[in-house]
Structure 1
Amino acid sequence: MKNELFERWMQQGNVTVPKMLLTHYSRIGLSETECMLILQLHSFLEDGNVFPTPSELSERMTIDVNQTLSFMRVFIQKGFLSIQSIEDKDRGVYAEKYSLQPLWNRLLSELGEEQHNERVNDVKDRKNNIFVMFETEFGRPLSPMEIETVNIWMDEDNHPSEMIGAALKEGVLAGKLNFRYIDRILFEWKKAGVITVEQARVHGEKFRTRQQRAQPRSADYASKKDSLSLPAYNWLDS
């Protein structure tokens, strides 16, 4: 008996509940009661009842007809709900229907703004990390001109923060801690199509290996080659 009752309930159909409403309703100023009323209205619309009465809505809620009507007015005032005219071509008359499209647009706008703010904060965090890296390696605070240079690398030249960090490491390896040297490294990487830290590492190793092979191989150098590390590539000479 219980299984038959459950099956009859399931045959009544399901309502697709927008997840963005459930997770963000409070951000646009909706209370739990208001959110549930919107879900009930959404359910009526999906079932084909495009203009349910306050009485029909309140029957599914714990609020009376007057409260339901008051909430519906607030939804319209806040731009969450609109009333549209539709033509019944068979009868030649016009009717009205509710639309929740303004609410969905508002939620999408909120989500877009949230994602934008997340991207802005992410950029700020990456910039702050880069500044810390430079100040740590340079052993001093960066000058306003140096800070502006880093900003230009990221905002105008579109160098990813990880690539700027990799170029800084190349400068450290070469013992050339100056912005002109690092800028030249970034320029050479971009020209060569180097876009990842791993590619930069391989690119640098190839240059250093080539430079090592070009050096005179004296007997003294040959006897010590196993204990020597590869010399740093001088990017300013490229």
Structure 2
Amino acid sequence: MNYDLFDYNCIDFRKLLLLKGKSLHLSDQATHLLMIMMTLEELNMTPITPQRIGEYSSLEAQEIDAIMLDLINSHYVDRINGVLDFSPVKRKLLHEKVEEKKEINLVSLFENTFGRALSATEVSFINDFKRSGYDDEMIVDALKEAAKSNVLNFRYVERILQNWAKYGKKTRREENEETSQFSDEVKNYHWW
């Protein structure tokens, strides 16, 4: 992708979306919501939530929420650390190849970790995590952290996610990458 086009705002993606939304197999409502979301992002009106979008749309909040989840699950919009990223739809508008994220089945992952089937309330917790802007990988890392601490409940996973979002920690993998900057000699030194 030519990042100069993005950096200097050479392309009006909302106009391009309006003209090419149908060719991307987007419904009129999804195109409408994407245009509102991109406008809110440009105006720095964050966070972009269904309630905020509802202020500018005649759609019901549940409809907005369902369309937003569909846009994220269909990889038109990504969530990075709780913030919506519109680069996938922009790449699609420019006919560039969009790398597909590996689909993670969070329900089965939680069931395997907890060792039991989840209730409908617990499945709604997972949906709430996704609606709050946490990406699948971050939720998986929080679940692993809870399992490592041997505290297997949704409130604990939720607190981990909230703390990571509050203090800017994105994922556990970043910690490991930071520690890998030390040479093997330092890592394997017998300090005692």
Q: TM-score, normalised by structure 1?
A: 0.35
Higher Rg: 1
User: Relative contact order (alpha carbons < 8 A, sep ≥ 6): 1 or 2 greater?
Assistant: 2
Q: TM-score, normalised by structure 2?
A: 0.42
Q: Which structure has greater helix proportion?
A: 1
